[in-house]
Every structure is written in C-alpha cells, then in structure tokens.
Amino acid sequence: MPAHAGQILRILGLLMEMFGLSSVALASRDGTGHWLGMTSNQVWSIVAVGFVFWLTGTVLNFNAALQRQERDGGEEDPS
C-alpha cells in the first residue's frame, strides 16, 4: 500500500461528500434536478460511500502514526 494511501482516501472521500451534498443543496425543491440526472437515493449513497472512504483513510493515518511512534521509541520528550 502506498505511503500516502490514507491521505488520498481522505481527500477522495471528502470530494465525494462535497459533490453529493452540493448536489442535494442545489437541487430543486421537488427532489429533481440533481447533477448528472441522479436520484436522491443515489446522491445520498455517494455521500455515504464518501464518508466510508474518509473514515478508512483516517484509520490508516492513525495506524501509521501509531507505528511511527512505536518505532521511534514511544513517548516524545516533554521538555
């Protein structure tokens, strides 16, 4: 897995969420007119998948930070 996979997944997830939420916000009041002719359920599915991508990237970043901390000798010097 690439070293920056977590950051890439977080950015991709954020972009997916932004696309979906802006499509919902800019749609007409009757629920039609979403971008690319999608239905509301499809748009909310994109938002949900984007959140899962973002969360997966966050977990990958957190695990990489823990591994770095363990490899470097544990706690940082407080002084």
- Split into its structural domains, the chain has a count of 1
In a domain, 60, yes or no: yes
Neighbour count for residue 10 (Cβ, 10 Å): 19
More confident residue, 78 or 51: 51
Residue 79 has pLDDT above 60, yes or no: no
**What pLDDT does 62 receive?**
93
**What pLDDT does 34 receive?**
80
Quote the CA–CA distance of 76 and 13 in Å, as a whole number: 32
Q: Are 17 and 47 in contact (CB under 8 A)?
A: yes
Residue 60, domain extent: 5-69
**How do residues 2-47 score in pLDDT, each as one tens digit?**
778 999 999 999 999 999 999 888 887 776 678 788 888 999 999 9
In a domain, 79, yes or no: no
Looking up tokens 């599915």, which residue turns up? 45
Residue type, 54: W
pTM: 0.80
Residue type, 37: G
Burial (CB count within 10 angstroms: exposed 0-12, middle 13-18, buried 19+), residue 66: exposed
Question: DSSP 3-state assignment of 21?
Answer: helix
**What pLDDT does 49 receive?**
97
Please state, for a pLDDT cut of 70, what percent of the chain lies above it: 89
